[in-house]
Amino acid sequence: MEKLLFLILLLSAFLFASSAPPTCYSRVLSLSKEITEKFMNLQMSKAADPCVQMLPKLYLDIHNYCVLAKLRDFVAYPRCWRVPQVGALKDKVRSLYTIMISFCRRDLVFLSDDCNTLELPIPSLTDSAAIWS
């Protein structure tokens, strides 16, 4: 019985140690991917308002310094205020911007400042045709 209790205690300690809280970088990365996916789904939606097609492009690469300006531009875009999905997306973008400029300011490293690359969708890592072409 003692061995079983010791084993359970050991396993629970291992699970507790291996489940570290998300880092600032991982939170920014996951939120940017979520925003990009939601934006692309909104753009492809047939039921979306026609103004959605006029929204600024939102393909995010958190390693590009221009992403901060891109986030500001998207939140400040005056059209589509009556579309609930756009409002929810703007809230997520605002949250990502706040995290990047305040909480994670010292943790992020920008590897590029090429603003033109943020105008094109980022090829998926699982899309082998995009990787090998």
Residue 38 lies in a domain: yes
Residue 129 lies in a domain: no
Which two tokens mark 114?
Answer: 């090429």
Q: How confident is the model at residue 44 (pLDDT cuts 50, 70, 90)?
A: confident
* 50 within 8 A of 75, measured Cβ to Cβ: no
**Who contacts 28 (Cβ-Cβ below 8 Å, separation ≥6)?**
62, 96, 99, 100, 104, 108
Which two tokens mark 133?
Answer: 């072409």
Q: How confident is the model at residue 81 (pLDDT cuts 50, 70, 90)?
A: confident
Residue 132 lies in a domain: no
What is the C-alpha separation between 36 and 91, in angstroms, rounded? 13
Q: Which residue segment(s) compose the domain that 71 sits in?
A: 23-117
Does residue 85 have a pLDDT over 80? yes
Does residue 17 have a pLDDT over 70? no
Task: Give bridge partners of residue 64 from the DSSP assignment.
Answer: 112
Average pLDDT, the chain: 79
What is the C-alpha separation between 123 and 18, in angstroms, rounded? 31
Does residue 94 have a pLDDT over 50? yes
Residue 71's Cβ-count burial label (10 Å; 0-12, 13-18, 19+) is buried
Residue 15 lies in a domain: no
Q: How confident is the model at residue 45 (pLDDT cuts 50, 70, 90)?
A: confident
Residue 8 lies in a domain: no
The pTM (predicted TM-score) of the whole model is 0.71
Which two tokens mark 102?
Answer: 């305040």
Query: What is the total count of domains within the chain?
Result: 1
Residue 11 lies in a domain: no
Residue 44 lies in a domain: yes
Hey, what amino acid is at 21? P
What is the per-residue pLDDT for 124? 56
User: Whose structure tokens read 């308002």?
Assistant: 49
Residue 16 lies in a domain: no
The arithmetic mean of pLDDT across residues 122-130, rounded, is 47
Q: How confident is the model at residue 53 (pLDDT cuts 50, 70, 90)?
A: confident
